[in-house]
Amino acid sequence: MPVETKTTCPYCGVGCGVVARVDEDGAVSVKGDPDHPSNYGRLCSKGSALAETIDLDGRILHPEIGGRQSTWDAALDRVAEKFAKTIVEHGPDSVAFYVSGQLLTEDYYVANKLMKGFIGSANIDTNSRLCMSSSVAGHRRAFGSDTVPGNYEDLELADLVILTGSNLAWCHPVLYQRLAAAKARRPGMRVVVIDPRRTMTADIADLHLAIRPDTDVALFVGLFSHLVSNNAIDQNYVAAHTSGFAETFLAASAVSFADVLEQTGLPTMQLREFYRLFTATEKVVTCYSQGVNQSSSGTDKVNAILNCHLATGRIGRPGMGPFSLTGQPNAMGGREVGGLANMLAAHMALESEEDRDRVQHFWQSPVIAGKPGLKAVDLFQAVGDGRIKALWIMATNPVVSMPDADAVEAALKACPFVVVSDVLKDTDTARHAHVLLPSLGWGEKSGTVTSSERRISRQRAFLDVPGAARADWWQLAEVARRMGFAEAFAFDTPAQIFAEHAALSAFDNDGRRDFDIGAHAGIDRQAYDVLSPFQWPQPAGRDRAESRFFAKGGFYHPDGKARFVAVEPVACDRTSAAYPFTLNTGRIRDQWHTMTRTGKSARLSAHIAEPFAELHPRDALELGVVPAGLVEIESPGGRAVVRALVTDRQARGSVFVPMHWNDQFAAKARIDTLVPPLTDRISGQPASKNVAVAARALKVACYGFAVSLAKPESLDAAYWALAKADGGWRLELAFTDAVEDWSAWCRRTFVIPDTIDPLGYADQRTGETRLAFFDGPRLLAAVFLAREPVAVARTWAVAQLTAEHADLRKRFALVAGRPGADKPDPGATVCSCFGVGVNQIVAAVHGGCRSVEAVGKALNAGTNCGSCRGEIRGIVEGCLAAAAE
């Protein structure tokens, strides 16, 4: 009989419930969990494709030492021996862990316990530093704790939702759909999007504020002053539950309306309308994400937003409050166990002697970290200069994701001892491991994660353990035992770890800390296995019906009051004559982090198959960059080459490039090599959204597109981007120099035997060359080359990898690059969930569909996760406008 398992999605911080089904033949399918309160059955394109990412291709299945297969005993002995020896010779601060929001809470807990309580250093930081640490710092300054006050329901209950620095439609699609559905039910709801780019999220915006990069502080300081001037302050709330209002208003009053206009670059009427909406609307939710956090002024941005909600008392009540949208599936769980280098477990403060004593007493540990450890950027700089001599990296790929990424790679090369725990053998980071440890992946591991709304859910195993892979917590506990700490790390199951984590949260608490899940302190394995999603706090012996914080005060500073924080707008234009453009990095809809999971799915790669740079049409014209041409982007730190996407969604003078591509999928697209190690002075979060760069057209002698049954073994091209396709691989190419023998190039690249002759032609007049190699009726590879960006029906060409070509006419049609009338080209994929292309949508509009809803009924496009609805709307409106001319 088929077996269904309720688990949780491993992507963003929405924390969607998933039902994984394993059929009798072992086939796996997934669907949204209709009972999970985060998503009620919805899944985004990435979640819907989870079953396509669980194969064992590329997996590391056995420990390796020095690139050679080893046993677990030998590998763990080596790790324990090297760390212990380094600590003896150079002290506890000579070692470090760099962990990840992809870990489960139980993994995170054991890592922090080992480093902070038994090694005695706080040199454990996480890739959550790159996305959430400014939010943490802002919360702690204002509230005295890292507390998210509200929940997802507030977005549906609000009359005004502000999305600032958040491309919700692509980065948190299910939450976006909850908002869009609420707006459809209540047309009077207003949505404001604050973003320098016009992203797909603006599709539901009543007002889009295209502010200049990093001017959020000025915008919200101006709002604070406007609220005071218009008597919108909740004086009773301010008097009873806050301090520092007068000083904050004095600082804000120095920023005039004209100053805000000048700094943000907004039109006067737009700014006035935004301030009017916020002032006149009681039920306001302000959601913020990476556009706020990933900044050298990120913490000040957060506090500028919090100030406005505190001043109006719009916090902790239904439909109102500030809301930090978490990037990763378990960044919140990591924060709960003290995953950052400047935190202790259970939201306790590393700088507090009382909290340090409390944690040490609970753990019965020989030591406790006495000072903050190195934050991510500083940590890798310390690896580079030799202060850190042994480093353990878990479930993350910093050679791609860290700023100054080439320097990070150089640091790993120079480090005496690097351990990497991961699921894939060949990543940009894993290739530098002295010891490589095989971890469990999604579907194999068991534990908990916490979503953006403080909801703890179970990830459950439903797949067999592959090879010798083991859980990350097990690896850590085994090393701890070998270092002499066996009694404190005698964990046999994740349930035991969760029970200890819950007990610590309640230890000597009495409501003095926000994080308390003491109700689960005595949980056994059976209860843990059936644990339902719940929001914290859940203290033992006390019912907490309220799911929000701070409506009646109760903050976590010693006096119980929130702090207004006076913040000052600062100049943030980093451009110069040499680097005149502002680079903004971020995510796209169908990829995740560094593509180690989503890169396995052909469906997810079909929407956007290569790295790109969004450029404004006038900037492209001045640079000589043609649409779909190649653009070279450079900063003092590095250089990247990506495809040009010319669009008026992008502001002049700015460039957007996604952060996903790595050396496994593209020739020169690790965009974080361009990002300098500039950080927020308080949070240590890197400024990844405001980087001064130069841009220029890359001169190309020949462009190419190819499909191949086998993965190319080596690629000799100035530009290439590789993507998984149904039946094989697709490949974008460009050459700065002419290739004399294309047939020989194809044989080398695609490993085609000399016995197989190509079918094709070369036209010296047009510069076109087309070659296809067949083994009987099966296509092995096809290459389309031209002097300009290749205009070939790509989706159709990819489909030829799984088609039969016994008919010679079909072979010639492939070489011609033209699908037959019986097999029309669907066009570039728009809806990944149902594989619907742009040509199909255009045909539907021409056939009478006049709305997104009508297209959905005809093709299903946009009816699952809905994150493509903005694109569909643009296609529909474009077709209708063209027909009206």
pLDDT digits (tens, 9 = 90+) for 683-708: 999 999 999 999 999 999 999 999 99
Q: Where are the alpha helices (H) located in 69-172, listed in sequence order?
A: 72-90, 105-112, 133-143, 153-157, 168-171
Closest residue by Cα to residue 340 from 377, 303, 382, 288: 377
pTM assigned to the model? 0.96
Q: Tell me the pairing of strands 719-725 and 728-735.
A: antiparallel
> What is the per-residue pLDDT for 394?
98
Q: Which residues contact 392 (CB under 8 A, 6 or more apart)?
A: 79, 83, 95, 96, 97, 98, 418, 419, 420, 421
Question: Half-sphere exposure (CA, 13 Å, Cβ side) for 88?
Answer: 7
Report the alpha-carbon distance of residue 244 to residue 224 in Å, rounded. 13
The low-confidence residues of the chain, meaning pLDDT below 50, are none
> What is the per-residue pLDDT for 764?
84
Is residue 190 within 8 A of residue 161, CB to CB? The reply is yes
Closest residue by Cα to residue 394 from 117, 86, 18, 115: 115
Is residue 204 within 8 A of residue 276, CB to CB? The reply is no
Q: Tell me the pairing of strands 435-438 and 64-65.
A: antiparallel
Strand partners, 722: 731
Secondary structure element (H or E) that encloses residue 308, with its range: helix 298-312
> What is the per-residue pLDDT for 806?
86
Say which DSSP state 40 is in: T
Task: Give the CA-trace dihedral at 415, 419, 420, 425, to 10 degrees.
Answer: 90
Strand partners, 596: none
Peptide bond into 537 cis (omega under 30): yes
> What is the per-residue pLDDT for 867?
84
Phi, psi of 724, deg, nearest 5: -65, 140
Q: Which amino acid would we find at residue 550?
A: F
CA angle 312, 682, 390 (to 5 degrees): 140
Q: Which amino acid would we find at residue 338?
A: G
- Give the count of beta carbons closer than 10 Å to the beta carbon of residue 576: 9
SS3 content of the chain, % helix, strand, coil (to 5): 35, 20, 45
> What is the per-residue pLDDT for 766?
85
Residue with token string 């479930």 = 395
* Three-state secondary structure string covering 153-216: HHHHHCCEEEEECCCHHHHCHHHHHHHHHHHHHCCCCEEEEECCCCCHHHHHCCEEECCCCCCH
* Three-state secondary structure string covering 392-411: EEECCCHHHHCCCHHHHHHH
> What is the per-residue pLDDT for 318?
98
